[in-house]
Amino acid sequence: MRRVVVTGLGAVTPHGIGVKAYWSGLASGACAIRPLSVIETDGFRCRIGGEVPEMVGGSTRRTRADRFALAAAEEALSDAGLGAGERDEAALVVGAVGGGMLEAEEWYWAASRGGDARLVPAVRSVLPCAHADTLAGRLRVRGPRHTVVTACSSGAVAVAEAATLIAEGVVDVAVAGGVDSITRICFMGFNALKLLDLAPCRPFDRDRRGMSIGEGAGFLVLEEAAAARARGARVYAELAGHGMTTDAYHITAPEPEGDGMVRAIRAALRAARVSPTAVTYVNAHGTGTPQNDRVEARALERVFGEGALLVSSTKSMIGHTMAAAGSLEAIATVLALGHGVVPPTANLETPDPDVHFDCVPRTPRDATLDCAISNSFGFGGQNVTLLFRRR
């Protein structure tokens, strides 16, 4: 089996533009969830989220999400030092949900109120696959290309898909990640479901009240290990295994015993040939909703037992960045392995007594980590676990 390593990282997050700003925020436990300004929030109970604080460069004719994706993917490619020849053969896998919905909403809102609105640009950009087409053209990445939509786990699925393309020998290099901008549809939907906390989310807290939405993009360059070594690439970590399963249970609620999550985690352990005891850190899906955190903790306990496992939630600092969440959390996991620092769960004041793990409240933790997993779960019971090993 060909081994897959991570050689490039790129991020646009509520902590700022670039991986450096992202890690600086995570490693200090800073919460970037603030009042939203990119959309109107009048009349809604929850009015906060993790918003990218400065606009990235590039043509203003591109959608906000496309600009996030371009900035993050360009950073990852540049970080990996990939030349034109390698880009020409590289696979591109993008996890997406909202596409250019933010701009399409502006058209639809204006059109519904009888205003002047240009239909074509809105429709051109609205589909999730628009990001991949934009990235492929702009970055000259011309290998196999596909866009996956698995709701909130889309970014992690994109990384898993790219790893499979490399492991199966289709390509030696792949660029993979997820992207989403805040949209009205998403904001209104989670408000309607009453899944949003009025304060910044508090995953694994006894008093947690729900999630906070967010936005951003996270991209990774993955390479076949020998090919990366041959070109002298810097290796961050090995993506040693992954697991993907489906609950087939409910359109929004997770299966109460966490069966699908357990199967995904175990599949990742099996693929990586790693025993549960070798995993010392879990970057949790950790949304902060009562239901998700309870079921995820139950699933972790079924696989790992109660014990010394460190568990933390990136979403406590940047919000739930939707399709970007899985890939941004993969980056957080890779950086945690490399730095020997576990980012904390911000806003965690009173640990939930039903969660039998150290959820690293508020303050980062130094730790020697060899193997870590990143969990991502989506509406429709779409479960993904990525397992990274330190190099």
Partner 1 sequence: MRTSMRVAITGVGVVNAGIVGDSAALAAFLAAPRPAPGVGAGGVARVPSSALAGAIDVAEARRLSRVCQLSIAAAKLAVAESGVDAARGLGLVVGTEFGDLASTHVFADGFLERGPSGLSPLLFPNTVMNTMAATTAIAVGARELALTLNAPTVAGELAVARAAAAIASGQAPAVLAGGVDEIDPVVERALPALGFAADRLGEGAAFLMLEAYEIAQARGATILGQVAAAAWRSLPARPWGVGRRRRSRAIHTVLERAGIDAAHLGAVYSSASGDRRRDAWEAAVLAAALGPEAPPAATLARLLGRHAGLGVLRVAAAAWTARSGLLPAATEPSTVMTRVWPRPGLVHGLGRGGAHVALVVAGA
Quick check: 67 and 56 in contact, CB under 8 A? Answer: yes
Q: Does 148 bind partner 1 (CB under 8 A)?
A: yes
Select the span of 15-23, 68-76, 287-295, 373-381 touching partner 1 (CB under 8 A): 373-381
How far is C-alpha 352 from the geometric centre of its chain's CA atoms? 24
Q: What are the start-end ranges of the E strands in 206-338?
A: 213-214, 216-224, 237-246, 279-283, 310-312
Q: Which of 30, 55, 81, 108 binds partner 1 (CB under 8 A)?
A: 108
How far is C-alpha 126 from the geometric centre of its chain's CA atoms? 20
Whether 131 is a known active-site residue: answer: no
The whole-angstrom separation of Cα 153 and Cα 264 is 12
Using CB under 8 A as the criterion, what x/- string covers residues 87-106 for binding partner 1?
-----x---xx-------x-
The whole-angstrom separation of Cα 198 and Cα 113 is 30
Q: Does 382 bind partner 1 (CB under 8 A)?
A: yes
Q: Which of 27, 38, 55, 185 binds partner 1 (CB under 8 A)?
A: 185
- Residues 253, 43, 48, 63: what is their CA dihedral angle, to the nearest 10 degrees? 90
Q: Which of 123, 198, 230, 308 binds partner 1 (CB under 8 A)?
A: 123
Q: Does 221 bind partner 1 (CB under 8 A)?
A: no
Quick check: 312 and 342 in contact, CB under 8 A? Answer: yes
Q: Does 188 bind partner 1 (CB under 8 A)?
A: yes
Whether 152 is a known active-site residue: answer: yes
Structure-token match 């079921």, residue found: 295
Q: Does 230 bind partner 1 (CB under 8 A)?
A: no
Q: Residue length, the chain?
A: 391
Q: Which of 83, 115, 137, 307 binds partner 1 (CB under 8 A)?
A: 137
- Using alpha carbons, select from 383, 364, 266, 375 the residue that is nearest to residue 330: 375
Q: Which of 206, 379, 390, 391 binds partner 1 (CB under 8 A)?
A: 379
Q: Does 67 bind partner 1 (CB under 8 A)?
A: no
Q: Which of 34, 47, 164, 278 binds partner 1 (CB under 8 A)?
A: 164
Amino acid at 255: E
Helix and strand totals (H; E) in the chain: 13, 16
Residue 13, beta-bridge partner list? 16
Whether 250 is a known active-site residue: answer: no
Give the DSSP H or E segment for 378.
strand 371-378
> Is the Cβ of residue 18 or residue 260 nearer to partner 1 in the bound state?
260
Q: Does 191 bind partner 1 (CB under 8 A)?
A: yes
Select the span of 15-23, 26-34, 246-254, 347-355 touching partner 1 (CB under 8 A): 246-254
Q: Which residues bind partner 1 (CB under 8 A)?
A: 43-44, 92, 96-97, 105, 108-109, 112-113, 119-120, 123-124, 127-130, 133-134, 136-137, 140, 142-151, 157, 161, 164-165, 168-170, 184-185, 188-194, 244-252, 260, 263, 378-382
